Amino acid sequence: MTAKQAERALAVIMAAAGVLLLLSLFGVLGAPWPHSSDSTETEMKMTGQAENGDLNQDQDVTPPPAETDEEIAALGLLPLADNDPDSLTPGGTALRSWPADSVVPQIRDVTRTSFVGRDFGPEALSGITVILDAAHGGADNGQGVFTALDDEPVYEKTITLKMAQMLGERLRSLGANVIYTRTGDTELSLFYRVAFAADYALLAYGEEAALAGYDIEPIRHLRPLMSDIMRINQSSADSGGRGLFGNIGTPPDLRIIYDIERQYGDILLISLQTGFSADESIRGAHAVYMSNSYIASVNNGYAAGQPADTLPPNYAGYNSEDRFRLAGLLQAHIVSQIPSLAPENEPVREEDMAVLRLSNLNSAVIELGMLSNPEDRAILTDDESLGTMANALTNAVYQYYCLP
């Protein structure tokens, strides 16, 4: 690529983004979900991931070869801003804070408002990627409840996977690219799930940075780090399966990943779960999100009693407003279609969940209902009701992007 071509490519990419963030109150669509139509699945080869979405330990995770000296001279190394935590102002008893400025170049800046005005139809979510994370799996059953009619318990892992499949089909019928953390009964660590999402963003950024004229050598080591986490697929501290995500605060390499993820407003991470309580009378669908201030508070709590200035700083570049909007819409649309799932309190709450805290994609956890409640459980084990719920969640994603 010549310097002139690189300059032109960068200009095109930058011109296609640049839309200011608009805030919006929750409103619920009144239009019913139309019948789904078939659509072509968008495929992307993921490091450490088999084509069917399940774990593949034998996948080649070798990073691509470095460019030749001539190519590096033509492209120029991707510049990184100061990323040394020792240069930061001490935080006292709290963790230090990284600057708000990104450590990596702004290659793109697609926000949710980039898609406002699209009609509800086969191309409504074109250009948007939704990563669906069906909670639990394999030996990790999640919550399980025995019923009077079945010899086997109703497991959370079964419900979340079925919902992911139903929701994915509907999102694809609107043109979305849908990626699953699992498509079968596979056990995945929480760290696998966030590494999986990070690897997708790293791959996309690397390709776009190269098109813009950069050599990505300074960040090339990050995808193999994600691959190691997925390959190990363990949560214990001594397994090595936590990788960069096993720290209190945000170490420099993880800051780079978060800064890359925040350039991708066209990617959502939605974790599908069910709720559970010892009080069987509690019912309803709930949504969970984590804001900048809440994540900082959680990390500072983990750091209590330790010398804070020796720990990695807090990251402050999460999009709190969009996270809250996504969580609220997911919950509100379920209740609009199945009013009996309206909870008595806290329909949307903040809670420490690793899948939200350790990713900087706009994300939310949706608890589809309380598995411990007999009425909710009847809904969660009924395919027609799950289909209605999947329609509602699809409408929520459409409204998140396409309506102001």
pLDDT single digits (tens) 82-137: 999 999 988 788 999 999 999 999 999 899 999 999 999 999 999 999 999 999 99
Answer yes or no: pTM beyond 0.85: no
Residue 143 pLDDT:
86
Residue 27 pLDDT:
54
Residue 210 pLDDT:
95
What would the 3-class secondary structure string for the chain be? CCHHHHHHHHHHHHHCCCCCCCCCCCCCCCCCCCCCCCCCCCCCCCCCECCCCCECCCCCCCCCCCCCHHHHHHHCECCCCCCCHHHCCCCCCCCCECCCCCCCCCCCCECHHHHCCCCCCCCCCCCCEEEEEECCECCECCCEECCCCCCCCEEHHHHHHHHHHHHHHHHHHCCCEEEECCCCCCCCCHHHHHHHHHHHHHHHHHHHHHHCCCECHHHCCHHHHHHHHHHHCCCCHHHCCCHHHHCCCCCHHHHHHHHHHCCECCEEEEEEEEECCCCCCCCCCEEEECCHHHHHHHHHHHHCCCCHHHCCCECCCCCHHHHHHHHHHHHHHHHHHCHHHCCCCCCEEECCCHHHHCCCCEEEEEEEEECCCHHHHHHHCCHHHHHHHHHHHHHHHHHHHHCC
The domain ranges of the chain are 3-402
CATH topology of domain 3-402: Aminopeptidase (3.40.630)
Residue 364 pLDDT:
99
Residues lower than pLDDT 50 in the chain: 1-25, 29-53, 55-68, 71-73
